[in-house]
A and B are shown apart, each in its own frame.
Chain A
Amino acid sequence: MAEIFARSEAEIVDAVRAAREHRRTLEIVGGGTRRSFGRPAPCDDVLDLSALNGIVSYEPEELIVTVKPGTPLSELEGVLAAQNQRLGFEPQDWRALLGSSGTPTIGGAISANASGPAAIRFGRARDHLLGFRAVNGFAEAYKGGGKVVKNVTGFDLPKLMCGAMGTLGPLTELTFRVFPKHAEKIFVTASGDGAVLRKVAASPLEATALIHSGGKAYVRLDGALDEKTAMLRGFGDFAETDRLPALPLPPREWPPEPPARAALTRAVKAAFDPLGIFNPGRMYEGV
């Protein structure tokens, strides 16, 4: 087994071309923290993207940032926070849950569509990737999407990359929309059940987290905190707390798909990676 540390898109193209020629499979790895997630999928070689890292461009006034996939999440979040901005999604750190080490990267988070609690307000990770560059199984570098917040030109390939677990090929550049960061508060009620959270969700509070865990209901609010806190207390006996509970790990394996959908999944995989080079079998057998 060879470990290939790619530092540029061109090096990835070379690595994929070699894998095609020699009929070898590649495990695409970022920080390696989510590596045991999914079906066991042993590969011939490892394509490590952690050295392909850094911020490519960041324009706070445009609310857009472009990064390389190996960029540590903490680095990206820090750069945004310095401008009082944030990603619209919150990839959870799975290291404790999976017993892994390493540094979580933005490419790995997107490939797992790791969205976190803010999905209730801002959508999942897939709602924030505006554009990307990648290398497909034909050893061609290509792009999908764009670098503006509103774009319907051609197929929305960025959606497909989110949650694909690297099976459609290595990403080499990612462009996100970002959001202004506001002061926030977290509340908990011991008597809470799912019903109180549904009431909050149907209210104008625009909560940024709603979690039911261990018999307690947690709500996170941002923005007009005085008015929102008063309104929240109308729904139940909420007290302020300092952190949200950790979300459980999603099931490690994907439930089988109905036949018609499974056929589409296989056809989509073949459209990007007909030889089955990238993370084969990680999501489904033969995909």
Chain B
Amino acid sequence: MHLAEADPSILSRRAEIVAALNALVPGGVVSDRAGLAAFDGDALGAYRQPPLVCVLPTTAAQVAAVLKFASGNGVPIVPRGAGTSLSGGALPRGDGILLGLSRMNRIVEIDLENRSVVAEPGVTNLAITRAVEAHGFYYAPDPSSQIACTIGGNVAENSGGLHCLKYGLTTNNLLGVKLATFGGGIVELGSKSGSDRGYDLLGIVTGSEGLLGVVVEATVRILPKPPVTRTLLAAFKSVPDAGRCVADIIAGGIVPAAMEFMDRRAVEAVEDYSAPGYPRGAEGVLIVDADGLKSEVDDAIARIAEIARGCGAEVREARDEDERARLWAGRKAAFPAMGRLAPDMLCMDGTIPRRKLPEVLERMSRMAEDYGLGFCNVFHAGDGNLHPLIIFDVMKEGELARAERFGADILRLCVEVGGVLTGEHGVGVEKRDLMGEMFTDADLAQQQRLKCAFDGAGLLNPGKVFPTLSACVEQGHMHVKHGRVPYPNLPRF
């Protein structure tokens, strides 16, 4: 993948840009080389690029002022939460300001009566639950990186997690935001009561990957903690058996709180890494949570166990909270466990119709053999969201390119069977050039017109999500051929 060349006319103005930011955010500007190296990318590890300068505001007014400066002076802006994006959403630009929100990390309000929490964007996902759990509440979306990732980043990426099968993505748990717009104003979208009239701008900003504005405050819905949670582990003799089990559970009208699949390679890697107690030798393992009141959980667990056994699985239940925590910790450790097997890793994120699971898993295995790369499959089975992990070594000639081609082929396969490129990680730079696989020129043009409505200059997180640059005035006529861009070195958006 090609990253944009830095604009020399911006580079030549670096000193004055740094001085201006110092005036707007005193004590919050990082401009020395060593300091900037700490901000040179996110969790899409294969790409590194230090920003022109990094600014770390502490107030919404400072964010608005920085955006106004950038807009007035034609400087690109890349917003960043904790830098945990797996798609390169926070990858800096050499000619752009990196706007880090990590210092805006206060919880502004806890309103138990209305089951909501107001937080600044740099508050971590887990910190919201920590702030309310003593009162019996929690924040439902739980991306695996929840100890580090921020609520502002969650809104920008519409993050999911293990439990979104029952509880939805960020967008379904978000009541409102204050958004700093590129013109330098702050607008309130949504409301604590959940009602909002007019266009659903909150809905469109959520998951917009930092292209439409910068979240300076988020109001989220918290839920009462379910009184009972039980966890089953089912070990299958074949992958199609596991796929059938998933389909039967969903078709049976059961909505588990979470339902995760790991294939044999993932199970072996995780057992070698942290030994959570998964059955080695199984071709696939499902971990299923049911939560709620005792009678409904008991009923769901009994039916899930029966369905799994009917699909030839060996089923056991976590005996206590310790074992439950261990089974889930193992699943969340799949990423670091695979990371031990090779220096570099790509984590894909397509979603497919659930009934296509066996077919897609089979075809991915054959692709892996063709490419000669190690990989394993971990996924949110309940909603068909796949996370194939491809391991490689960027220092070996051609391996990065081969891994990226393998990843792209997996995503093409997802689209071919009726699915989508990304279920929760976002497009970022990683899948940008594949957008044409899923969307037509007309589809992409319409999305880009919306981008222009919020950011006519195309300076907010440029180079992300869309495969090609088109000036906002030309929006009526744009030509993208299968996402491939004729001049890949041109700056985009």
Binding site for B on A (CB under 8 A): 59-64, 84-85, 113, 119, 123-124, 126-127, 136, 138, 140-144, 146-157, 159-160, 162-164, 179-182, 198, 201-206, 223-224, 226-228, 231, 250, 254-255, 257-258, 260-261, 264-265, 267-272, 283-284
Contact = CB atoms under 8 A, between A and B. Distances in A.
A111 to B, nearest CB: 12
B199 interface: yes
Interface string B307-330: 000000000000000000000000
Interface in B153-184: 157-158, 160, 164, 168-169, 171-172, 181, 183
A155 B207 contact: yes
Interface residues of B, number: 87
Interface of B: 112-115, 137, 157-158, 160, 164, 168-169, 171-172, 181, 183, 185-189, 194, 197-204, 206-208, 224-227, 247, 250-251, 253-255, 292-296, 299, 351-355, 380, 383-385, 418-427, 431, 435, 438-440, 442-447, 449-454, 465, 475-476
A181 to B, nearest CB: 8
B422 A203 contact: no
A153 B438 contact: yes
Contact of A155 (B115, B187, B450): B450
A180 B254 contact: yes
B255 to A, nearest CB: 7
25 contacts: A61-B251, A62-B250, A124-B194, A141-B442, A144-B447, A147-B418, A148-B418, A149-B383, A149-B384, A150-B169, A150-B424, A152-B422, A154-B465, A155-B447, A156-B207, A157-B450, A159-B203, A180-B253, A182-B253, A204-B226, A223-B293, A231-B293, A265-B198, A267-B452, A268-B204
A140 B446 contact: yes
Contacts of B451: 155
B414 to A, nearest CB: 9
Given A150-B164, A152-B426, A260-B181, A227 B295 contact: yes
Contacts of B189: 261
B420 A153 contact: yes
A254 B292 contact: no
Contact of B299 (A153, A201, A224, A250): A224
A127 B167 CA distance: 11
A127 B200 CA distance: 11
Contacts of A227: 293-296
Contact of A153 (B115, B422, B440, B452): B422
Contacts of A156: 158, 171, 203-204, 206-208
Contacts of A270: 453
A255 B422 CA distance: 37
Nearest to B297: A224
Given A157-B447, A224-B296, A260-B181, A148 B197 contact: no
B419 A148 contact: yes
Contacts of B476: 138
Contact of A150 (B181, B384, B435): B384
Q: Lowest 4 A-B CB distances belong to which pairs?
A: A159-B203, A180-B253, A267-B453, A224-B296
B450 A271 contact: yes
Contact of A148 (B112, B114, B188, B384): B384
Contacts of B194: 119, 124
Nearest to A195: B113
Given A152-B424, A153-B420, A204-B292, A268 B201 contact: yes
A39 B426 CA distance: 38
